[in-house]
Structure 1
Amino acid sequence: MITQPKFAVLHVADQARALEFFSGTLGFEVLTDAPYGEGARWIEVRPPGARTYLVLAAQDPELTEQIRLRRGPMSTVWFDSDDLDATFAELSAKGVSFPVEPQAAPWDPGGSTRWAQFADPEGNLYGISAQGG
């Protein structure tokens, strides 16, 4: 039986820049940073205490852009927040771009979910949401 997601792979053009964003700016823990293939690294990061982690996988910048154009503006990775407004304020102060600022989630007719969307330095989008605030 499947119990939970283990990791999600994020394809990035610049692994060093992605690692700095996730560990330095977002404060994620670095679980692994090891050579992997020719000129690449196997990098695993996660929010402190989280069980699921992200793999920052090297990918050709042109292919990364083609995938982004096909995918459109939808986030492929979402994070939970215990306080969306505080998270928004903290990350905005660190220079993180929020194309969608905190607001009521249109998919929650009960109105208890709020969400926002932020971007990494490569333009990848991430959703973040919180229940009841």
Structure 2
Amino acid sequence: MITNPKFVVLYVSDQQTVLDFCTRKLGFEVRTDASYGDGQRWIEVSVPSAETYLVLAEGDPRVRDLVLQRLGELSHVWFDCDDLDATFDELTARGVRFPVEPRAAPWDPEGRTRWAQFADPEGTLYGLTERGA
């Protein structure tokens, strides 16, 4: 029986830059940082309490280009937080850029869900919602 998503792979151009962003700006923990193969690194990061990790995969630029061509800059990775406004203020103070500031979600006609969107140094976009919304 499947119990939990293990990890989500993000294709990045510069693993170290995105790793620094995840740990220094977002407060993520490094779960694995191992060298393998011909000078490659396998990097897993996560929110301290999470069971699902993000893998920062740096590989063939053609793969990243294809992903960007098909999906655009949106990573399709969303995070929960307990307080959207407080998290927005905290991350903004750390220098995280928010192309979409906290607002009502257009997909929730009852107006209970609020969301925001932030970007990493490579311009990849991530969604952020309040827990339980």
| TM-score, with length taken from structure 1 | 0.90
Q: Is the 8 A contact 2:10 2:75 kept in 1?
A: no
What is the alpha-carbon distance in structure 2 between the residues aligned to residue 130 and residue 67 of structure 1?
28
Q: Is the 8 A contact 1:112 1:131 kept in 2?
A: no
1:46 maps to what in 2?
46
Q: Does 2:124 align with 1:124?
A: yes
- Report the Cα offset of residue 73 of structure 1: 4.7
Per-residue Cα deviation, 1:67-86 (whole angstroms, up to 9, x for no partner) = 22331254410000111111
Which runs of 5 or more structure 2 residues have no equivalent in the other structure? none
Q: Is the 8 A contact 1:79 1:129 kept in 2?
A: yes
Tell me the percent identity.
64
Which runs of 5 or more structure 1 residues have no equivalent in the other structure? none
What is the alpha-carbon distance in structure 2 between the residues aligned to residue 86 and residue 54 of structure 1?
23
What is the alpha-carbon distance in structure 1 between the residues aligned to residue 61 and residue 85 of structure 2?
33
The size of the alignment, in residue pairs, is 133
What is the alpha-carbon distance in structure 2 between the residues aligned to residue 80 and residue 36 of structure 1?
32
Q: Is the 8 A contact 2:97 2:119 kept in 1?
A: yes
**SS state at 1:32 partner:** strand
What is the alpha-carbon distance in structure 1 between the residues aligned to residue 95 and residue 107 of structure 2?
28
What is the alpha-carbon distance in structure 1 between the residues aligned to residue 18 and residue 51 of structure 2?
20
Which of structure 1's runs of 4+ aligned residues deviate more than 6 A?
Answer: none
| TM-score, with length taken from structure 2 | 0.90
Describe how 1:24-35 pairs up with structure 2 within 5 A. 24-35=24-35
